[in-house]
Amino acid sequence: MMRIVLLGPPGSGKGTQASALQQRRAIPHIASGDLLRAHIADNTDLGRRARPFMDRGDLVPDDLILDMMAARLVEPDAQNGYTLDGFPRTVAQARDLDQRLQALGHRLDAVIYLRVPEDELLRRLSGRRICPNCNAIYHVDTMPPNQKDICDHCGSALIQRQDERPEVVRNRLQVYAEQTEPLLEYYQSRRLLHEIDGTIGVDRVLAEVAEAVGRASQQVAGEHRT
């Protein structure tokens, strides 16, 4: 049982790492961005309230995020652990998460921070394209489709998400620096933070994430024995 937070700016590779942890440890990958986009697609009240913030690249207000995540974390598949991707994004959210976990008799086991320079983040995000039909993901430089702007799998026209346009990406990175980076100090003070270079290649990052989670798992097991 592991409860993990993945931190890192947009485009740092959190989704890739969380998906790998889901396969290796059989714990769900809970991505706040995916949940928000699902609410927007379903035109829920939360989705309608969150959409203007996401379109600008701003953080969605805490009350919306906290209500959404609190409901997700008590679902049956999350009772044996999870990897949180994109949440918490502020120290206030982190403190609220701690309080909610404590009320359930739970706690976080590890916080993984993927460090990536801004110019690389801009390249990764602004070049990404997705298929609106089958959700396949491409990149204009590193993983282009066989036919320009056409999905290899279903033939649909690829799109660029509104929040991945260059001007929005720059705003997202600025917002991240101002509001999310203080989380590093917060989790460092609690001795939960493991920092990893997110530019060393997917396989090496996967190996270092697995090593960090393994160390955290051993620490938790040792605490349970004492």
CA atoms of 207 and 201, how far apart (whole Å): 10
Catalytic residue, chosen from 3, 72, 124, 172, is 172
**Is residue 107 flagged as an active site residue?**
no
Beta strand pairing call for 128-130 and 137-139: antiparallel
Catalytic residue, chosen from 49, 115, 161, 170, is 161
**Is residue 191 flagged as an active site residue?**
no
**Is residue 161 flagged as an active site residue?**
yes
Beta strand pairing call for 193-197 and 110-115: parallel
Catalytic residue, chosen from 3, 72, 128, 129, is 128
Catalytic residue, chosen from 3, 14, 72, 124, is 14
* Cβ neighbours of residue 31 closer than 8 Å, sequence gap 6 or more: 14, 15, 18, 85, 86
- Beta strands, E only, 34-167: 81-85, 110-115, 128-130, 137-139
CA atoms of 181 and 188, how far apart (whole Å): 11
Catalytic residue, chosen from 89, 123, 129, 170, is 89
**Is residue 128 flagged as an active site residue?**
yes
Are the CB atoms for 8 and 114 separated by under 8 Å? yes
Residues annotated as catalytic are: 14, 89, 128, 161, 172
